[in-house]
Structure 1
Amino acid sequence: MRISKKSTLLLGVATAMLLATSGCSGGLLAADEAGSEETGTVKLAMVVPISGSSAPTGEYMANAAQLAVDEINEAGGVLDGRQLELLVEDEACDAQQGVASANKAVSAGAVVSVGGYCSGATLPQLPIFEEANVPMIIPAANSQDLVNQGLKNVFLVNGTGNQQSTAALEYMLKTGVASVALVDDNDSYSADITAETARLIEEDGTVTLALGTSVTPGESDYSAAVRDIMNAAPELVYWTGYYQEGGLIINQLRNSGFEGDIMVADGSVDGSISEIAGAGAEGVLATMTQTPDTLEGGGDWIASYEEAFGSAPGPFSLQSYDAVRVAAHAIDEAGSTDGDAIIAALEAIDGFEMFSGPLTFTADHTLSNGGFIILSIQDGAFALEDDLS
């Protein structure tokens, strides 16, 4: 998901912090030693936003991961009886916080990472976990920059940004949209989706790109962008940033008299967008991978989550639950907590059942089918609009 524009700088910061940590007592060397132990709990790192505006999503993810851990432990654990332990650390959707938390998890002996929400906080964690030879099974962050690093230890169990753009255009073509305005928040996650969508639109030639524009996240007044959209008069606006800004833009568009369709990307699929946008949120579309509410026959799983945590699951909870299950499967198949053995086991997965369907990783460690569906806000909540099948 969210990612800083200066990816190279972030990776440099991460590497510097990694080297500093590895020179300290209890750093990477200690983590390697802990990861090689053949007794005790098997530790999984879950670095997600626990503070900041995306904290509600981080809570969904951590809870769902813990639910999977508890179920696996109750069934006997991994490696002939060893229990899993989930180490939840805060990324706060912040690059430096993400690096610090990744270092902390490695030092504590995590052997697999099953976290990652904001891509801007996840990308600089890559060299930390790579150096420690810790496989990363990323359940939410999906910027193409994560894939483009070409790291052997990085696996995505959420559809990529490129797959999301394809789904967006597919829906536009299916419903006969003639013109679209693409609006991003000028960071790489969001800008990548708009750039890829624009490329696909140009390549296809059916839909007209009426406008492409960017806004600055964290502001309260987006009247300049709204004015440009109104002047361009598109039939559909596709917002690819996050729900905080998306809710404001939707509200200001509707108050300005925009009557066309509005679509948002997966970073805006959060119940809070309706609270921010008000009545204007009704009917807003979204490109998203599977959510608990759209899971066919998912009532039992939702009930288990609610019983455990006293509240309903939210976005990226299914993917986080599956990330833990995939990690446990790979550890058992590897027969050890050795990073290379787990990576080989992940690459060898062929048809492992997840909520999104049978899992087999592509050569670049992504899903062969992104699994994106179209949701719409109905009575203030996201519901299935189109499964694109």
Structure 2
Amino acid sequence: MTSIRSTRGWQRARFAAVSAAVATVLAGCAGGVGGSGDDASGDTLKFGLLAPFSGSESAFGEYMKNGAQMAVDEINADGGIDGKEIELVTEDDACDATTAVSAANKLVSQGIVASVGGYCSGATLPTLPIFLQAEVPMVIPAANSNALPESDQENVFLINGTGTQQAEAAVKFAQKEGATKVAVIDDSTDYSVDLADSFAEQASEAGLEIVEDATVTPKEKDYAAEANKIVGSGADFVYWTGYYQEGALINRQAKDAGYEGTFLVGDGSVDASFAEITGEGYTENVYGTFTQTPDMLEGAGDWIAEYKEKFGAEPGPYSTQSYDAVRVAAEAIKEAGTTDMAEVVDALHGLDGFETFAGPLTFTDQGTREQGGFAIVTIGDDGTFVLHDDLLDD
């Protein structure tokens, strides 16, 4: 299962080829539907949100939809955008590339003027040429693979920090923990591979020894072989960059095999389900790299209370990022005074210190945020992840 990071370029090349093929097909069928279409001239502006509403990541889809709807309702109550109300249109991408392509085309056919979705990077990447061809600006709340800005599409903007920025936080935490020998494990998905690549590179540059560098197959139930490799490697720090189902099993099986070091997970594993799957007695020394959730943020009490009143549940991961994605897209359209993609893109680049839950937002030339905003979280007594270290003291 061990993989060499330098071979990952093949995956990026394959994605580029697939994207080019999709763009070629769309060139003959998009027909100008999108930001400058007839729907934009009516009384409603449609914002499209792709998220997983089915499958193992469906909880995140609900968090994202609810957070986005919160922003839509607030903006509409305040008069909308130049008198036009926003309508949130959602489609299920199931964190699956093929499903996401179909769902993106459905959104385009409904005349959306902005895309404010995207959770799984592997499902978001193949939608990029679809939205570009349709001239729809993308403000992506969650997906953060470096391959997104590396696509070099002018209409792509990330609310979440990039994989590089998340990896930087992971390396900083490893150093604070006094780690010397590091194991990095991914699950072969675009997001996971990207984060693992970036972490391995930065960790090596920081003088940490990579003693295990592996890829596992998702959706398996037995990772004992990899757990034994972790212990045999002498690692005192593990960074798992995949999703919580597999990560929770690897954590449990590694500890059963004798691993006693730090087990750090990427943001795709930061969910209460991790504690449920890994089991009681196995959450010690488990941490995560994550942008802060509402309950971790000072002054977010009113927003949390409003969310709970509206949806009858606590806000979860990526609810705030989706809330901010809608607000950012709306602000850019308002500033541009049009839904024309080129002018909205210029307005997005013109945002300077726009207030978001993750702090003031200014985009780089690549459409990424200047500050990643990642912190270290850990599992609390109730099984949910809570703030452990904001990393701001370094």
TM-score category by the smaller chain? over 0.9
- Judged with a 3 Å threshold, the aligned counterparts in structure 2 of structure 1 residues 50 and 346 are, in CA distance, closer, same or farther, namely same
Task: Report the Cα distance in structure 2 between the residues aligned to 1:298 and 1:283, rounded to whole angstroms.
Answer: 28
One-letter identity of the residue aligned with 1:29: G
Q: Is 1:75 matched with 2:75? A: no
Deviates more, 1:95-104 or 1:281-290: 281-290
- Judged with a 3 Å threshold, the aligned counterparts in structure 2 of structure 1 residues 32 and 372 are, in CA distance, closer, same or farther, namely closer
Does the Cα contact within 8 Å between 2:288 and 2:378 map onto a contact in 1? yes
The alignment's C-alpha RMSD in Å is 1.9
How far off its partner does 1:194 sit?
Answer: 1.8
How far off its partner does 1:309 sit?
Answer: 0.6
- Contiguous gaps of at least 5 residues in structure 1: none
| Residues 168-219 of structure 1 deviation map (CA, whole Å, 9 limit, x = unaligned) | 11111123222211111123321222222121122121x2222111111111
Task: Report the Cα distance in structure 1 between the residues aligned to 2:85 and 2:164, rounded to whole angstroms.
Answer: 37
Please give the secondary structure, in 2, of the residue aligned with 1:323: helix
Q: Is 1:64 matched with 2:64? A: no
Mapping of 1:334-349 within 5 angstroms?
334-349=336-351
Task: Report the Cα distance in structure 2 between the residues aligned to 1:4 and 1:68, rounded to whole angstroms.
Answer: 38
Q: Which one of the candidate residues 324, 336, 343 is aligned to 1:322?
A: 324
Identify the residue that residue 241 of structure 1 maps to in structure 2. Answer: 242
How far off its partner does 1:253 sit?
Answer: 1.4
How far off its partner does 1:363 sit?
Answer: 1.2
Please give the secondary structure, in 1, of the residue aligned with 2:217: coil
Identify the residue that residue 216 of structure 1 maps to in structure 2. Answer: 217
Task: Report the TM-score when normalising by structure 1.
Answer: 0.94
Task: Report the Cα distance in structure 1 between the residues aligned to 2:36 and 2:324, rounded to whole angstroms.
Answer: 27
Task: Report the TM-score when normalising by structure 2.
Answer: 0.93
How far off its partner does 1:320 sit?
Answer: 0.5
Identify the residue that residue 225 of structure 1 maps to in structure 2. Answer: 226
Q: Is 1:120 matched with 2:113? A: no
Identify the residue that residue 50 of structure 1 maps to in structure 2. Answer: 53
Identify the residue that residue 383 of structure 1 maps to in structure 2. Answer: 386
- Judged with a 3 Å threshold, the aligned counterparts in structure 2 of structure 1 residues 89 and 198 are, in CA distance, closer, same or farther, namely same
Task: Report the Cα distance in structure 2 between the residues aligned to 1:181 and 1:19, rounded to whole angstroms.
Answer: 41
One-letter identity of the residue aligned with 2:143: A
Identify the residue that residue 131 of structure 1 maps to in structure 2. Answer: 133
Please give the secondary structure, in 1, of the residue aligned with 2:260: coil
Across the two proteins, how many residue pairs are aligned to each other?
383
Identify the residue that residue 3 of structure 2 maps to in structure 1. Answer: none
One-letter identity of the residue aligned with 1:349: L
Does the Cα contact within 8 Å between 1:286 and 1:375 map onto a contact in 2? yes
Does the Cα contact within 8 Å between 2:52 and 2:61 map onto a contact in 1? yes
How far off its partner does 1:58 sit?
Answer: 0.8
How far off its partner does 1:18 sit?
Answer: 5.7
Identify the residue that residue 93 of structure 2 maps to in structure 1. Answer: 91
Percent identity between the two aligned chains? 51
Does the Cα contact within 8 Å between 2:165 and 2:374 map onto a contact in 1? yes
One-letter identity of the residue aligned with 2:255: R
Mapping of 1:94-173 within 5 angstroms?
94-173=96-175
- Judged with a 3 Å threshold, the aligned counterparts in structure 2 of structure 1 residues 331 and 366 are, in CA distance, closer, same or farther, namely same
